[in-house]
Chain A
């Protein structure tokens, strides 16, 4: 998100899901869309049926590969090299959009300069791809306009994630694929309301609606509206919070609807941090590994028990409606938080309903000013920015100007992952999601039918690697990294390339994140979930 915010002025998906139907070319990189965003994958496949080109870039043979015109299978962790290589191939062949570069962008020469080091022979060596494959992908993307790039955590969850995102931005700008229907840069968000959580100001440096805490005018506005506010210095990021807790600097935490004990990297470190806390409050709908650590557990209400809104990956606010009353003893999350604030003596928390809260959001966040419950009743949803009740919402961002004015090209260099396989830990472990479970499984593992499809963690390993180690389908394995060891049965599949093994993080019995890396992106502190070095051994 920080990458696109730097280049475009906004970190959100530039275009809409419905735009997929208008794309002449879809470039899907670092995403397992068929498993993680199935209904988007359907729409991509439908576009391909109607003649759109599909390029899939992924070390794993993900579901969309079967529909792809071109599948590039680079070495994991080489996105920056490959994406800059695509830019290089486009410029070398004159496939760029000179007018767009000149009229809409800046810093192109610096970026072009940095392409010196990304000659296709070097890129081929780093990525393990053929020069002809790279050129073909560049040609297909550049010459089939409008072309849209979609990506997910395979781009972001690296110690070079911000660079990779900016490389995506470079590629889109160089071909003029911004600000047009069917084009764009589309990060596919993970959770139902992760876009909304960012929009609402659940970030250390911004208030609701991306207003900086360092900005004097914003500070004064919120101090006046709320009677009180925080300082001008951004707070700690999630990963820093756990570091600070482990060091005893953070003494109390209030965690709502998250299970970092299972979902966050390097679990041993998270557990140490949570144990060190003087006071931990966890609000959730089920007991989980994190509520078990809490001094106080507060029972929230599920999505079906409260009114509100979610904002999906394409910036669309949609209504969540109460289908049943909260289960006896449970309270809506907003109400619990408001009641705590009131008992702390804070003013301005006497909301009668979620609609009341939305009215306050409308008043304080200019980009959401027109998104009212009244309008959401009659239309299917509204995409921000939506600055007034007359405004129809914004399906495509950056149509005339970038949010920051001009789009900024960024010179980039390739950096290898934080931890690479070696003699002792010869495999790269990649982690992600599966279709039939969701995150730490607190909800999906309570749906009996879903567990018929997937009831335990399995380590995906390429049959060639398995043969070398004498591993057969279903063998119990010990998977160890420098940080811990877990057990899982073997699943032999060439979905995963030679040298890479793959696990999800859905099962508490196999807490994959005991293994994952402490490596982080230097800007966003996003953990390097997509690579750590592991050893795989048969348990006899």
Chain B
């Protein structure tokens, strides 16, 4: 267990893990401090400057996300200069952010909306400072629309810290700062592996999925591709599989996914090419047949062979229960040990 320290935030004494940041300590004690660039999976950054606080004995307005707690620390999160500076900072972000919230992909899930509402800011007071930005539409699964970007750096840090690719970075300076790819190429021309981890952490609508349907409900299951066994939520809406997202509590993936899990696990399921009827080969090739007669045929034919004349190959892609029943069929019904899977391939 980590050591526990006691700190006081806005007059409330709370316990925090030694080594935690002031922001982490506050949030885990249920005390909200406005923040945008902070993400629990990422290293402290101190970029958006919304989480500024006053700390007794410290000069200036340190950012809570980059300041570690110490025992007996006294923190103030609101009032006076803090409120004024924080509002000005927010105005700078809002100046360059579109206000078409109703039609935005992130409407109601946008963290900028949350901060704006919390601070009670209803009007823009600053004129736009940045020129219209290019939209990178090259990736088939998600869009990078820099016009919505607030330059919090969550995406670029995710690419470097979480997936270790570094395909995107914050480029340029001042009003030329942008999320970009080396050489100002498109995402598709970059090292991007299209995992969408950046999109999953974007607080606003700058990185957004091209298929943007809010699911009616989600079901927790396991990704069907490789053997990592990522725990995923599949979303359903109007009878169609519409979304996939990583489960934070997944023992193997802790919320992370790759391109196939996030974007490739649903489209094939309801694909028109699916086999939907049994087929029996006759004189004119394989023809549709009804289940009853097919099952009778298979059972009768299987019964006609000696145990050493038959072999069963269950799938390493189907469930344990599917495989168990197949090996039981081989051993108990066909009386053969000729059963193997593709593990040795």
Contacts and interface: CB of A to CB of B under 8 A. Distances in A.
B332 interface: yes
Given A250-B310, A310-B320, 12 more contacts: A18-B252, A196-B320, A201-B324, A230-B336, A238-B341, A255-B313, A304-B234, A305-B269, A312-B227, A334-B324, A337-B325, A381-B231
B320 A199 contact: yes
A235 B336 contact: yes
Nearest to B219: A323
B270 A191 contact: no
Interface string B289-322: 0010011111111110101111111111111111
A39 B320 contact: no
Interface stretch (B44-52, B72-80, B103-111, B253-261): B253-261
B344 A310 contact: no
A313 interface: yes
27 contacts: A37-B227, A39-B252, A190-B226, A190-B227, A191-B226, A198-B343, A200-B327, A201-B331, A207-B327, A230-B332, A231-B335, A241-B340, A252-B309, A254-B311, A258-B315, A260-B342, A296-B279, A299-B277, A306-B322, A316-B251, A316-B252, A319-B220, A320-B221, A340-B295, A349-B328, A360-B324, A442-B268
Nearest to A41: B164
Given A36-B226, A323-B241, A334-B322, A241 B193 contact: no
A250 B296 contact: no
A286 B272 CA distance: 10
A33 B261 CA distance: 15
B185 interface: no
Contact of B331 (A46, A230, A297, A313): A230
Contacts of B229: 192, 310-314, 316, 318, 381
Contacts of B163: 38, 42, 45
Given A230-B330, A230-B337, A444-B264, A529 B278 contact: no
Contacts of B161: 46, 49
B342 A18 contact: no
A306 B269 CA distance: 12
B2 to A, nearest CB: 15
Nearest to A450: B264
A279 B298 CA distance: 9
Contacts of B325: 333-334, 337-338, 341, 349, 351, 357
Given A194-B343, A303-B224, A228 B335 contact: yes
The 9 lowest CB-CB distance pairs between A and B, nearest first, are A312-B229, A308-B319, A257-B315, A45-B164, A235-B337, A449-B140, A343-B299, A38-B258, A329-B276
Interface string B190-213: 000111000000000000000000
B8 interface: no
A299 B275 contact: yes
A195 interface: yes
A340 B252 contact: no
A229 interface: yes
Contacts of A317: 320
Contacts of B230: 39
| Interface core residue of B301, B302, B339 (most chain A CB under 10 Å) | B339
Given A197-B343, A202-B314, A296-B298, A324 B236 contact: yes
B117 interface: no
B223 interface: yes
B225 interface: yes
Contacts of B312: 253-254, 256
A40 B163 CA distance: 10
A291 interface: yes
B225 A192 contact: yes
A97 B88 CA distance: 61
A126 interface: no
B175 interface: no
A250 B268 contact: no
Contact of A333 (B194, B277, B318): B318
Interface string A223-243: 000111111011111110100
A214 B228 CA distance: 32
Contact of A46 (B164, B194, B267, B324): B164
Given A250-B311, A252-B309, A338-B325, A348 B332 contact: yes
B343 A256 contact: no
A387 B313 CA distance: 28
A450 B268 CA distance: 11
Interface string A494-507: 00000000000000
Contact of B329 (A213, A318, A321, A340): A340
A249 interface: yes
Interface residues of A, number: 155
Contacts of B253: 39
Given A202-B340, A252-B309, A296 B281 contact: yes
B323 interface: yes
Interface string B231-275: 100101001010000010111111011111101101111110111
Contacts of B249: 380
B284 interface: no
Nearest to A306: B319
A195 B194 CA distance: 27
A294 interface: yes
A435 B341 contact: no
A447 interface: yes
Contact of A202 (B264, B275, B291, B323): B323
A254 B310 contact: yes
B291 A331 contact: yes
Contacts of B236: 323-324
B264 to A, nearest CB: 4
Contacts of A323: 219, 221, 234, 236, 241
Interface stretch (A85-93, A105-113, A469-477, A519-527): A519-527
A332 B257 CA distance: 26
Contacts of B266: 304
Contact of B342 (A258, A320, A345, A448): A258
Contacts of A40: 228
B333 A194 contact: no
B222 interface: yes
A193 B276 contact: no
A375 to B, nearest CB: 13
B92 interface: no
Given A198-B341, A238-B344, A253-B313, A222 B331 contact: yes
Given A203-B341, A449-B140, A297 B322 contact: no
A324 B241 contact: yes
A251 B308 CA distance: 9
Contacts of B333: 228, 340-341, 344, 346, 349
A312 B228 contact: yes
A297 B320 CA distance: 22
Contacts of B322: 256, 306, 308, 332-334, 337
A448 B279 CA distance: 27
A286 B273 contact: yes
B335 A256 contact: no
Given A201-B324, A237-B340, A318-B231, A193 B260 contact: no
